[in-house]
């Protein structure tokens, strides 16, 4: 299975996860060729939760994923303009999905960030944790 196909399957899996909650609607992006500026893989919204999330999906077989400054800047720029929360969704093969806010990522060396599985477990959210956040909920 090619890199592109794998990425698309990961996206499709996330789309179904959101859809199956019954509380989220999903716009899957047609891709970078179609828009004047880079945009994230999916944008999801929930009127019930009062939230909009811009999500860049990554899938890796190893225990770590490199993200470049550019990956993070592009997601942040889009999210700031749109008015969305910026999230990276990383699927570690057979160990599931972790969701990380771009500001939680630690610079490793030069212009890239490394997200290890350990880091993701400590600093990321599972899907269930991610969608449990409710902007409309009173504390």
Please list every residue from 96 through 125 that binds a second copy, using CB under 8 A: none
Q: Which of 10, 14, 46, 125 binds a second copy (CB under 8 A)?
A: 46
CB of 69 to a second copy, least distance (A): 20
Note whether 81 binds a second copy by CB under 8 A.
yes
Joined together, the tokens standing for residue 94 give 């057979």
Question: Can 32 be counted among the known catalytic residues?
Answer: yes
Q: Which of 1, 6, 10, 52 binds a second copy (CB under 8 A)?
A: 52
Of 71, 76, 77, 41, nearest to 56 (Cα)?
41
Residue 135, CA distances (Å) to 51, 78, 130 in order: 6, 20, 12
32, 47, 62, 111: which one is catalytic? 32
Residue 94, CA distances (Å) to 59, 69, 72, 90, 120 in order: 11, 27, 25, 12, 14
Residues that bind a second copy (CB under 8 A): 12, 15-16, 19, 23-31, 34-37, 39-40, 42-48, 50-52, 78-84
Catalytic sites, residue numbers:
32
């Amino acid at each position: 299975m090619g890199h592109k196909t794998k990425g698309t399957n990961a996206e499709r899996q996330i789309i179904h996860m959101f859809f199956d909650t019954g509380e989220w609607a999903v716009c899957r992006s047609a891709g970078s060729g179609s828009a004047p500026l880079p945009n994230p893989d999916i944008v999801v919204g929930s009127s019930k939760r009062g939230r909009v999330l811009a999500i860049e999906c990554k899938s890796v077989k190893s225990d770590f994923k490199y993200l470049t400054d550019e990956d993070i800047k592009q997601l942040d720029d889009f999210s700031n303009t749109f008015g969305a929360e910026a999230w990276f969704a990383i699927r570690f093969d057979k160990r599931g999905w972790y969701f990380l806010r771009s500001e939680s990522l630690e610079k490793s060396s030069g212009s890239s960030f490394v997200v290890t599985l350990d880091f993701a477990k400590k600093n990321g959210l599972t899907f269930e944790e991610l969608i449990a956040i409710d902007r409309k909920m009173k504390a």
